Amino acid sequence: MSGHKDIWVVIEHSDGRVKPVSLEAVHAARQLSSKSGGQVKAVYLGSQSGDGVKVVARAGVNQVLLIVDSELDTYTSSRYLAALVGCMGDSPPSAILLPATNHGKELAPALASSLGSGLATDCIGLDYSESSGIKVERPVYAGKALSYMEFLGPVPVIITLRPNAFRSDPIADYKEAPIIEHSPAWTEHSRLLHLKEIVKGGGTLDITEARIVVSGGLGMQGPENFHLLEELAGVLGAAVGASRPVVDNGWRDYSNQVGQTGRTVGPDLYIACGISGAVQHLAGMSSSKCIVAINKDPHAPIFEVADYGIVGDALEILPILTREFKNALRT
């Protein structure tokens, strides 16, 4: 049962392009396998469109399991679940890693339930010891505490990884791994759902996956001023976030909300504009690598966590930042 030590990474892709969060998961799997032994296998579901499969094969994995079927080009949990379980046969891996994205958050519990195995979600650290096997670290109580968990049940254990928590080195030139093709054996159950159409919601960058987030609070004064954040985000390649009252007021969609009752982000750069810095907001962004705050009030609590602070009117400062970044990035 050589498969027992292997670690699988379920690759997320869109239009043939691999999402960076999946390469982070590959990096995490490599680190784990260097302690636990076994091979890292990337599982790519869908037909070979674009260069996604090749990108994964050169990402430092030992093998790519390509489960080929055009029905898998677009994610549906029932198809992905059936294909993954079917491909496992009698040689399951020790762990299956998925990014904690919307898809990963849906598929991971379905996998765990189907396989009767343990599940740890939104992990920010992985470790292994001979005595206790795989251990995970995950934030709890809105990031105020960390929990460390071990698995007791059967393999494979299912683990979702918080985006931006497992960065890989940008310079890596790995040998291309072999690509092994599988055909999914569909069950009656997996055929119960047929995907007809995906209606895209605008194609904006997901705030949990973005490397830069520009967020607005009530200090933005109204929805008509959020174009200032969109413009800065456009120049920086960033996603736009928001505080809860902004969402409650209907200025922005809930998918933009950062905080305890919204999304948790950990980008390289978080720019908080007109946000006071309430604990519930900090719970969703304080793990950002660099925090910049723009606030009229020099005593606003956000400045206590900010690496850089600008005291002033966000509505005046944002256009200046956008112009300056545009100029700086053009050169």
Ligand X SMILES: Cc1cc2nc3c(=O)[nH]c(=O)nc-3n(C[C@H](O)[C@H](O)[C@H](O)COP(=O)(O)OP(=O)(O)OC[C@H]3O[C@@H](n4cnc5c(N)ncnc54)[C@H](O)[C@@H]3O)c2cc1C
**Tokens representing residue 84 in the block:** 């993954």
Closest CB 297 distance from ligand X, rounded Å = 4
260-279 residues in contact with ligand X (CB under 6 A) are 260-262, 274-276, 278
**What is d(CA 150, CA 168) in angstroms, rounded to the nearest whole number?**
24
The residue number whose beta carbon is nearest to ligand X equals 259
Please identify, using beta-carbon distances, which residue of 155 and 310 lies nearer to ligand X: 310
For helices 102-115 and 77-88, angle between their N-to-C axes, nearest 10 degrees: 50
Q: Tell the burial category of 330 from Cβ atoms under 10 Å away from its Cβ (0-12, 13-18, 19+).
A: exposed
Closest CB 187 distance from ligand X, rounded Å = 40
Using CB under 6 A as the binding rule, whether residue 143 contacts ligand X is answered as: no
Candidate residues 30, 79, 138, 281; the one interacting with ligand X per rule CB under 6 A: 281
Using CB under 6 A as the binding rule, whether residue 139 contacts ligand X is answered as: no
**Tokens representing residue 101 in the block:** 């994205």
Candidate residues 164, 243, 264, 322; the one interacting with ligand X per rule CB under 6 A: 243
Using CB under 6 A as the binding rule, whether residue 287 contacts ligand X is answered as: no
- Residue 228: Cβ within 10 Å count: 21
**Residue tagged 């966590």 (tokens):** 305
Q: Which of the ranges 82-90, 91-99, 164-172, 253-261 carries the binding residues for ligand X, by CB under 6 A?
A: 253-261
Using CB under 6 A as the binding rule, whether residue 245 contacts ligand X is answered as: yes
Please identify, using beta-carbon distances, which residue of 13 and 244 lies nearer to ligand X: 244
Using CB under 6 A as the binding rule, whether residue 22 contacts ligand X is answered as: no
Residue 166 CB contacts under 8 Å (≥ 6 apart), including other chains:
24, 25, 27, 28, 31
Closest CB 287 distance from ligand X, rounded Å = 15
- Region for 283 from its dihedrals, namely left if φ exceeds 0, alpha if ψ lies in -120 to 50, beta otherwise: alpha
Please work out the total of residues on this chain that contact ligand X, with binding judged by CB under 6 A: 28
* 290, 307 contact by CB (below 8 A): yes
Please identify, using beta-carbon distances, which residue of 23 and 213 lies nearer to ligand X: 213
* 107, 76 contact by CB (below 8 A): no
Q: What are phi and psi of 264, to 5 degrees?
A: -105, 130
Q: Which of the ranges 101-109, 172-180, 186-194, 309-317 carries the binding residues for ligand X, by CB under 6 A?
A: 309-317
Please identify, using beta-carbon distances, which residue of 75 and 270 lies nearer to ligand X: 270
Please identify, using beta-carbon distances, which residue of 21 and 258 lies nearer to ligand X: 258
User: What single string gives the DSSP state of each residue in 148-199?
Assistant: EEE--SPSPEEEEE-TTSSPPPS---PPPPPEEEE-----TGGGS-------
210-229 residues in contact with ligand X (CB under 6 A) are 217-219
Q: What are phi and psi of 294, to 5 degrees?
A: -120, 120
Please identify, using beta-carbon distances, which residue of 236 and 246 lies nearer to ligand X: 246
Please identify, using beta-carbon distances, which residue of 41 and 244 lies nearer to ligand X: 244
Which residues in this chain contact ligand X in the complex, by CB under 6 A?
217-219, 243-246, 257-262, 274-276, 278, 280-281, 284, 294-297, 300, 313-315
